[in-house]
Chain A
């Protein structure tokens, strides 16, 4: 009995993960982000749906996350980075993003939406691409991935200011940018 109870307690986070995923996938589909045409429209700068979703998520999220952090309810979970990873790696990602027309989160949504190029082509490609990275990792990890290392810092830490000195202007800028995008009719 004891062990059974422990197992079920250990599995509880997995159910929350599944639940958050279902809500995330639901919202991605409702927003239109599970479609190749919407993602390519963003990269061709003819349809700004993706940027509108991302920026409104970031502004909303940032206010709540920094509020909860200031109350001591949560800790940030930051990724380390370097010029090699976040410039070169991100540029490679961007090329794949445009060629495939989905990203790792939206391809999961596109699969749920029934798009066959996502399942047969894209998914197989992504799994292969991550595997190629795993093969090359021993050669990359102490070289290019460390190039220009800047660690897991936040903008407020980098600028040595209070969190809200960055949060408030960034949220304001995002809101202004979204109003500007709307005013151009895109």
Chain B
């Protein structure tokens, strides 16, 4: 019989359990904090703060950083929490990955070179980070929080995230590979 403890240490839950849980979390987030769950602006703030450390005050003068405000705020703590929550779940379910550089689907098509995978991941990250700020949100802010509010901007974004992603994934694995 499953106990509460054994449920928490299960490696995987039904995607519906995880999804409904995230939906319930969005209720609490709106009710208690008055904010939707979103993540990508935090990466832009972190980028700006890094520029400030390296290059000094001129980072703060950039119009974009003035707009989003370079500070550690609610959403920043949310992103820190995601790292901790995933770590906690991975540890208690024995799924924490040690020394894994190359995911298996990638390895099956492109081999197990860590350098190649890291370079491609970095290139993908640049495109993703640029695109997230261009679109004004990501799979969390638009894809979940915006669509559940029925925002037009978010439904359009979510659809085109997947259009772009599906086409690109097929090119990578069925044309290039």
Contacts and interface: CB of A to CB of B under 8 A. Distances in A.
B5 interface: no
Contact of A23 (B31, B85, B105, B155): B85
Given A17-B77, A125-B128, A137-B64, A80 B136 contact: yes
Interface of B: 10, 12-13, 15-37, 39-40, 42-44, 46-48, 50-51, 62-65, 67, 72-90, 95-106, 114, 117-170, 172-173
A49 B33 CA distance: 29
A31 B143 CA distance: 16
B36 A98 contact: no
A76 interface: yes
B124 A101 contact: yes
Contacts of B26: 57, 60-61, 64-65
What are the 10 tightest A-B residue pairs by CB atom distance, in nearest-first order? A21-B81, A125-B125, A94-B164, A81-B153, A129-B129, A60-B23, A25-B85, A96-B128, A31-B18, A121-B121
Given A61-B26, A90-B142, A114-B90, 5 more contacts: A32-B15, A89-B157, A99-B120, A129-B131, A130-B132
A124 B157 contact: no
Contacts of A163: 150
B71 to A, nearest CB: 11
A127 B46 contact: yes
A178 B20 CA distance: 13
A35 B103 contact: yes
A44 B168 CA distance: 9
Contacts of A123: 125
Given A52-B19, A65-B148, A121-B117, A73 B78 contact: no
A127 B121 CA distance: 12
Interface in A85-124: 85-101, 103-118, 120-124
Contacts of A90: 131, 135, 142, 156-161, 163-164
Given A77-B34, A77-B36, A132-B126, A31 B84 contact: no
Nearest to A35: B103
Contact of A96 (B72, B84, B127): B127
B115 to A, nearest CB: 10
A37 B74 contact: no
Contact of A113 (B87, B99, B157): B87
Contact of A99 (B36, B43, B102, B123): B123
